[in-house]
């Protein structure tokens, strides 16, 4: 290789190395700490039009992150409800990366309140980003710390349930319980215990506010089989199972 080409080769090699490292870091960050969408911008689209609706609230699971089309369970459930004339339309108000406090802020928005007030069916996925603390819980994990998060956040989940039920006294409201994406890690059994306690608390709150809790815990038992390539969000098959579970509970609770 000519002498003058060596500096160019070295410069290009360093540039590619930096670019690769940056891309890897961004990919990890997007999984462990997903970027939050602008709640206001998303919610302003929630204008009210005539007809009965299914409204989906929540985080990246409602948004459909991990599915091949980026849609998840909401269109599967919504299209099925439309085909059976249970609702006329559906709206996905999920916010990627949302925590309980973000959902509570969203519930204060005028257009969101109007949409929820007239909804026939409302589904919610929330709490995972609080409990898992955007992946930070994996660093120096302790069950006591996880249980401390649960103790703090369950009262906030109750406030969320109460707010949504106050907005709409008659809708069928469903909360999707949490699953364990960390089963194969050394602390997987401990995570199982904490997440089951979360879901038990959610079921207790569900009885208080007439909110159906849909089990997703048993849908994720093998990370390679049940999760997408990020090892956190569901894949297409698991989203389909979530949709089926949600539809079954809706069918049992909706009065035509």
pLDDT above 90 (res 19)? no
State residue 5's pLDDT score: 52
pLDDT above 50 (res 14)? no
* Mean pLDDT in residue range 57-74: 97
Cα(107)–Cα(114) distance, integer angstroms = 10
* Mean pLDDT in residue range 109-134: 94
pLDDT above 80 (res 30)? no
pLDDT above 50 (res 24)? no
Which uninterrupted H or E stretch holds 41? helix 39-43
pLDDT tens for 42-57 read 443 444 444 699 999 9
User: What does DSSP assign to residue 215?
Assistant: P
- Cβ-Cβ contacts under 8 Å for 44 (sequence gap 6 or more): 109, 111
Closest CA to 131 of 194, 58, 202: 194
pLDDT above 50 (res 94)? yes
Strands 119-125 and 211-214: unpaired
Predicted model pTM: 0.82
91 and 46 Cβ atoms separated by less than 8 Å:
yes
- pLDDT band at residue 138 under the 50/70/90 scheme: confident
pLDDT above 60 (res 18)? no
C-alpha dihedral, 58 to 222 to 247 to 90, nearest 10°: 40
Q: Considering all CA atoms of the chain, what is the largest pairwise distance in Å, rounded to the nearest integer?
A: 81
Sheet of 211-214: strand order equals 89-92, 53-58, 119-125, 172-176, 211-214
Among 22-36, 97-111, 149-163, 168-182, which stretch is predicted with the lowest mean pLDDT?
A: 22-36
State residue 141's pLDDT score: 87
pLDDT above 60 (res 16)? no
What's the mean per-residue pLDDT of the chain?
Answer: 85
State residue 256's pLDDT score: 58
pLDDT above 50 (res 97)? yes
Closest CA to 51 of 90, 95, 10: 90
> Is 109 buried (19+), middle (13-18) or exposed (0-12) by CB count in 10 A?
middle
118 and 48 Cβ atoms separated by less than 8 Å:
yes
pLDDT tens for 192-227 read 999 999 999 999 999 999 999 999 999 999 999 999
Distance (Å) of CA 185 to CA 72, 141, 142, 189, 230: 25, 11, 13, 9, 15
């Amino acid at each position: 290789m000519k002498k003058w080409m060596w500096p160019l080769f070295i410069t290009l090699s360093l540039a590619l190395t930096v670019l690769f490292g940056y891309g890897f870091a961004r990919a990890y960050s997007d999984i462990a700490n997903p970027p939050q969408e602008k709640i206001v911008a998303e919610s302003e689209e929630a204008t009210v039009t005539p007809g009965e609706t299914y409204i989906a609230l929540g985080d990246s699971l409602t948004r459909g992150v991990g599915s091949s089309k980026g849609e998840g369970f909401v269109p599967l459930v919504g299209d099925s409800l439309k085909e059976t004339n249970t609702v006329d339309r559906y709206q996905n108000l999920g916010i990627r990366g949302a925590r309980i406090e973000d959902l509570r802020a969203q519930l204060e928005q005028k257009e969101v309140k109007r949409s929820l007030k007239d909804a026939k069916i409302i589904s919610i996925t929330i709490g995972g980003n609080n409990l898992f603390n955007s992946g930070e819980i994996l660093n120096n994990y302790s069950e006591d710390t996880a249980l401390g998060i649960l103790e703090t956040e369950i009262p906030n989940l109750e406030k969320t349930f109460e707010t949504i039920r106050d907005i709409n006294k008659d809708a069928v409201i469903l909360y999707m319980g949490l699953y364990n994406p960390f089963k194969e890690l050394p602390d997987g059994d401990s995570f199982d215990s904490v997440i089951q306690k979360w879901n038990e608390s959610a079921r207790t709150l569900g009885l208080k506010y007439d909110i159906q809790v849909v089990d997703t815990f048993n849908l994720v038992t093998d990370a390679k089989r049940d999760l997408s390539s990020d090892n956190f969000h569901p894949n297409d098959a698991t989203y389909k199972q979530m949709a089926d579970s949600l539809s079954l509970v809706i069918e049992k609770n909706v009065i035509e």
